Structure 1
Amino acid sequence: MGFWDGLFPRRTAQFESGSASSNAIELTKRHTTVSLSKQGAVSGNLRVNLSWRMRTSDIGGRSRQSGQLLRHPFKLFKPEVVQAHTQGMVNVDLDIGCLYELTDGSRGVVQPLGNFFGSLNAPPYVKLSGDDRFGAPSGETIFVNLDHAEQIKRLLVFVYIYDQTPAFDRTHAVVTLYPSNGPRIEIELDERAPQARSCAVLSIEKVKGELIVRREVKFVYGFQAELDRLYGWGLQWGRGYKTKV
């Protein structure tokens, strides 16, 4: 099935969000998986949120900042000022997307690029709520309808840089899952990959009867086609664009 076969009309919809607990499960290199089944979160809407901000330590340059601290040690106790975007800074536009494969063999992608926003109550049961181009606190959110988990074979959530400026090392990005039950699940993109343009963040699939979330965090230097080859999706990719604001 080709890349363009997964096109669904964009609709305005109200979503139920998972209950946010005060605690969180952080998936790391040492703790890579968590079972949604064991925490009773295999129904309802799974909310997957991407948020990011510029790394303040990179504003103005690290070497210059460290040199200033040596000359003026009391600046260590002065709150750091976060500057607005200027021409000297990289304007990063991170997008979240999701490769899906259903049990009937259909495959495709949900992402802002090409306006593939998906559908929540019909195949692929994955829906993108919108496209945040400015790093707002709310970020971007994908909803997965786990009431249809039996129709979903596997999902791969990824993040990519739309404007083609490699700058993952200039941002602090976090993908947070809000299940219908239990604590939220956090995955930080904390590895420095200055030339990477895309990152496979997490996968969701059934393993021995349990619905498992697995931390991937694999940076690649290409775009969706390279992620496709890495995970064996077998889609046909073409050049896509966003609708202008």
Structure 2
Amino acid sequence: MGFLDGLRPGKAAEFDSGNAATNSIELTKRHSQVSLTKQGAATGHLRVNLAWRMRTSDIGGSQRESLLRHPFKALKPPEVLGHSQSMVNVDLDLGVLYELQDGTKGVVQPLGGYLGDVNAPPYVKLSGDDRFGSASGETLYVNLDHRDAIKRLLVFVYIYDQTPAFDRTHAIVTLYPSNGPRIEIHLDERHPQARSCAVVMIENVKGEMMVRREVKFVYGFQAELDRLYGWGLQWGRGYKAKAER
């Protein structure tokens, strides 16, 4: 906490309750964690959504106008648009490494069809695999009514079998608790060769459900994230079923 923050009594409360204008909390390096328990949001289904956009400069967008004809428009930064299959061939996937209080460990992800279960262990369910970045993105659900059975959940994003493109892809992971403001984590750091990113840790700390920003990019896949966080799982090469036409 900075010196000036201590002189502003409403600062911490403002962060905990979210931005009044957008009803959201953005986790940053400076404000990296929030308590779902203190928000009164540690019950019900926690929805976690992955969405991403591409910069027009990376997908053949229009060039800047002549300085003589449009001097102000030429200084405008490149527009960011939602992407579609025709624009870019990047397949971002959402996954979770889970560890339960009884020692059970595993993964929920599209690769291999490990979609989980929301009403039975691991109490995490992936809704499906968005291959082309539709407006709804990819979504998973965490059943916090079983929070006492959960030790930690590491939400991660990886690029499936394509050229690394995190430097061209502005991805956002958003958590929607059952109560209170949504929680946003922006993956806007530049790591052009990274293939995976540990985004956020959801952890049961002495009965309190904490959400902590991670945003750690790695150049490998799930096995490298596993080693980084000490999960201890065995990994092999996996494939997706071909998309239906």
Bin of the TM-score, shorter chain as denominator length: 0.7 to 0.9
- Measured on the aligned residues, the alpha-carbon RMSD in Å equals 2.4
* Residue correspondence of structure 1 range 59-208 to structure 2 within 5 A: 59-60=59-60, 65=63, 70=67, 72=69, 73=71, 75-76=73-74, 90-208=88-206
TM-score, normalised by the number of residues in structure 2: 0.83
Q: 1:238 is matched with which residue?
A: 236
Letter aligned with residue 44 of structure 2 = G
SS in 2 for 1:150: helix
CA distance in 2, matches of 1:185, 1:81: 22
Q: 2:28 is matched with which residue?
A: 28
Structure 2 gaps of 5+ residues are 1-20
CA distance in 2, matches of 1:24, 1:100: 25
SS in 1 for 2:111: coil
Q: 1:15 is matched with which residue?
A: none
Letter aligned with residue 187 of structure 2 = L
Larger relative contact order, structure 1 or 2 (CA cutoff 8 Å, min sep 6):
1
SS in 2 for 1:136: coil
- Which range moves more in the overlay, 113-122 or 71-80? 71-80
CA distance in 2, matches of 1:158, 1:221: 13
CA distance in 2, matches of 1:115, 1:139: 18
Structure 1 gaps of 5+ residues are 1-20
**Amino-acid identity (%):** 77
TM-score, normalised by the number of residues in structure 1: 0.83
Q: 1:37 is matched with which residue?
A: 37
Partners of 1:195 and 1:221 within 8 A in 2: yes
CA deviation after TM superposition for structure 1 residue 71, in Å: 6.1
CA deviation after TM superposition for structure 1 residue 54, in Å: 1.1
Superposed structure 1 runs of 4+ greater than 6 Å apart: none
CA deviation after TM superposition for structure 1 residue 53, in Å: 1.4
CA deviation after TM superposition for structure 1 residue 65, in Å: 4.5
SS in 2 for 1:147: helix
